[in-house]
A and B are shown apart, each in its own frame.
Chain A
Amino acid sequence: MIATRDAYGEVLAELGAENGDVVVLDADLSGSTKTSSFAKKFPERFFNMGIAEANMVGTAAGLAASGKIPFASTFAIFAVGRAWEQVRQSVAYPKANVKIVATHSGVTVGEDGGSHQSVEDIAIMRAVPNMTVIVPADGVETKKAIRAAAAYNGPVYVRLGRNKVPTLFDDSYEFAIGKGCQLRDGSDLTFVATGLMTAQAVAAAEILAGVGVSARVVHIPTVKPIDEELILAAARETGAIVTAEEHSVIGGLGGAVAELLGERCPVLLKRVGVQDRFGTSGKAEDLLKYFGLMPENLVEAAKELLGKK
């Protein structure tokens, strides 16, 4: 088990050694975002911008205009919340080659509380044209996603978390931007999940198997551009979709799937996520229960849909 932010710290330092154009920016959270690993090895290419996220994003855009590959990091709510307009105007609108990699997303930020728990970041990045949005599930996928982001020419938002998460993938996994993957086949319904909720979905599928329900699990690491074909196939073949994200049910993965299904393949849909509420202080594991983000909650959602079939 490794936190996705730790995997980020490791791969960033690797990238720094491989590519002299990679530069990193942070906003006084380098110890938490793990950009400190890069900073220690390549201090001349690391720019702490202090508690000034708007300037950090703009500076990253300027570095990209100078031919560098900037990775700009801070907590999710500050990276794309506070600096939303800078991401939109200075990065996305000019198609600047900037990678915003935010850690501490979702409610599992824990004790810091609601002010620090972003439940909106996927939604507000998804709505921005030219933006690619990636939410890796584990450390292995994070490293591959960061490498893919570095190789891709254009704006990317990568959403990472604070805490250790189960490892779902091994090195044979072929990550590609825009491609989801089926982790488990099934015929009665499909869990479409992202980030840490994918592991929760796998656990839920196992519980359901015990009571004779065959649940497919589809992992969607790239929320934008979303893997439409994989989701539509699941809709056509299983007839019921439960989305799962550590994010508001408004505008994130659930929103994206609802948009797709509504137009192309209307089937039973239930969005599991934070129910349009702010986060609150607590231990991460308690908050997952409190906000209904446990395998049991996914099982309940599945049963609700099956009851309507």
Chain B
Amino acid sequence: MKDKIARLQEKARKLRIDIVRTLHRSKSGHTGGSLSVIDMLTVLYYHKMRHDPANPKWAQRDRLVLSKGHAAPAQYVALADCGYFPKEDLQMLRQLGGHLQGHPDSKGTPGVEVCTGSLGQGLSMAVGMALGLSLDKSSNRVYAVLGDGELQEGQIWEAAMSAAHYRLDNLCILIDANGLQIDGEVAKVMNVESIGDKFRAFGCHVLEIDGHDIAAIVAALDEAEQVKGKPTAVVARTVKGKGVSFFENKASYHGVTPSDEELPRALQCLGDCCD
């Protein structure tokens, strides 16, 4: 198990490098929120989820909905590394003619299940997928990844309410709680705490973890699988921009990409030697 954790940590580090390089090249996209979520996506794509990059529509696959769709770069680098599409495609992120849209688009990118980007809508789609799997008596699971600012959208709570009402224990909600949004600290813009209490009140089994602790993420997802009769909400405390010291905890790096000057310093933080 310790080997497994170490390998996942190393994978996450490599994917952070891919995120930083990709966003530097595209000059457009969401840096902070991609770096805060990548540890969770690493555990999902490389440990927890049943999926087959060669067969993106495999009927027995687990599903991931990136409800905080602006963290698309994190999902894209993972999908590319897994082999859903050629890594070169990352060079066309957000460019006309490429399939990697600014926010995940199921129409063009293998591995993307639904279109997200407008916050608050992905969890509802995850609920629908979970209901569909349940109708089919499938043992597959649905993972929905949300942001904490996103919890300000009322539709999230409609979805949470319905997930508990329909006893969707095949649904695991992960909240990438990095404490920041565009206009500043979530607590100051529109406080959403206590996130855990809210999800508990809405009928979910709640776990609170460090969202950068690979072992804790693994344990939480394992526990979620054992919970019966209700969905699980994993409140993962994270750092926006995690991995690059001068991006960390800065609302300003929400939608700003690494500059030419910042790239080598960022890569150095991530243990990558040169451009």
Cβ of A237 < 8 Å from any Cβ of B?
no
Q: A62 and B155: CB pair below 8 A? A: no
Which residue of A23, A64, A66, A90 is within 8 Å of B124 (Cβ)?
Answer: A90
Contact (Cβ within 8 A) B162 A90:
no
User: Residue B135 at the A interface, CB < 8 A?
Assistant: yes
Bound together, the chains give a CA A47 to CA B165 distance in angstroms of 11
Asked if B272 is at the interface (CB within 8 A of a chain A CB), the reply is: no
Contact A58:B132 (CB < 8 A) given known A89-B117, A95-B107: no
A96–B124 alpha-carbon span in the complex (Å)? 14
Alpha-carbon distance between A59 and B136 when the two chains are bound, in angstroms: 16
B115 touching A94, Cβ below 8 Å: yes
Decide yes or no whether B180 CB sits under 8 A from chain A: no
Q: Mark A85-97, 1 if CB is under 8 A from B, else 0.
A: 1100110011110
Q: Nearest chain A CB to B67's CB is how many angstroms away?
A: 10
Q: Point out the residues of chain A lying under 8 angstroms from B159, CB to CB.
A: 55, 58-59
Q: What's the Cα separation between A44 and B132 when bound, in Å? A: 11
Tell whether B121 is near chain A: CB-to-CB under 8 Å: yes
Q: Is the CB of A89 within 8 A of B162?
A: no
In the assembled complex, which residues on chain A have CB atoms less than 8 Å from the CB atom of B125?
A: 58-59, 61-62, 65, 90
A55 contacts B105, CB within 8 Å? no
- Chain B 104-138 interface residues, beta-carbon cutoff 8 Å to A: 105-107, 113-115, 117-118, 120-133, 135-136
* A176 nearest CB across to chain B (Å): 26
Q: A62–B105 contact, CB under 8 A?
A: no
Shortest Cβ distance from residue A85 to the other chain B in the assembled complex, whole angstroms = 6
A93 to B126, CA, bound (A): 17
**Contact indicator A55/B155 (Cβ below 8 Å):** yes
Determine whether the beta carbon of A66 is less than 8 Å from that of B132. yes
Which interface class (under 10, 10 to 19, 20 to 34, 35 or more) fits A?
A: 20 to 34
Are A62 and B121 closer than 8 Å at their CB atoms?
Answer: no
Q: Are B107 and A54 touching (Cβ within 8 A)?
A: no
Chain B residues, CB < 8 A from A95: 107
Are B127 and A66 within 8 A (Cβ)? no
Q: Is B166 among interface residues, defined by CB-CB distance under 8 A?
A: yes
Given known A62-B124, A64-B128, A68-B132, contact A55–B113 (CB-CB < 8 A) = no
A62: contacting residue among B114, B154, B158, B161, CB under 8 A? B114
Q: Does B115 lie within 8 Å of A58, measured CB to CB?
A: no
Q: Do B121 and A59 have beta carbons less than 8 Å apart?
A: no
A230 interface hit (Cβ, 8 Å): no
B131-160: CB near A (< 8 Å → 1, else 0) gives 111011000000000000000001100110
B114 A59 Cβ-Cβ under 8 A: no
CB distance from A298 to the nearest CB of B (A): 41
Residues of A within 8 A of B124 (CB): 54-55, 57-59, 61-62, 86, 90
Q: Residue on B with the closest CB to A57? A: B124
Q: Which of A23, A54, A59, A86 has the most CB of B within 10 A?
A: A59
Q: List 19 A-B contacts (CB under 8 A).
A: A44-B135, A50-B165, A52-B161, A58-B122, A58-B124, A59-B127, A59-B128, A59-B131, A61-B114, A61-B128, A62-B65, A62-B114, A62-B125, A62-B132, A64-B128, A66-B128, A66-B129, A94-B107, A95-B107
Q: Which residues of B contact A (CB under 8 A)?
A: 63, 65, 105-107, 113-115, 117-118, 120-133, 135-136, 154-155, 158-159, 161-162, 165-166
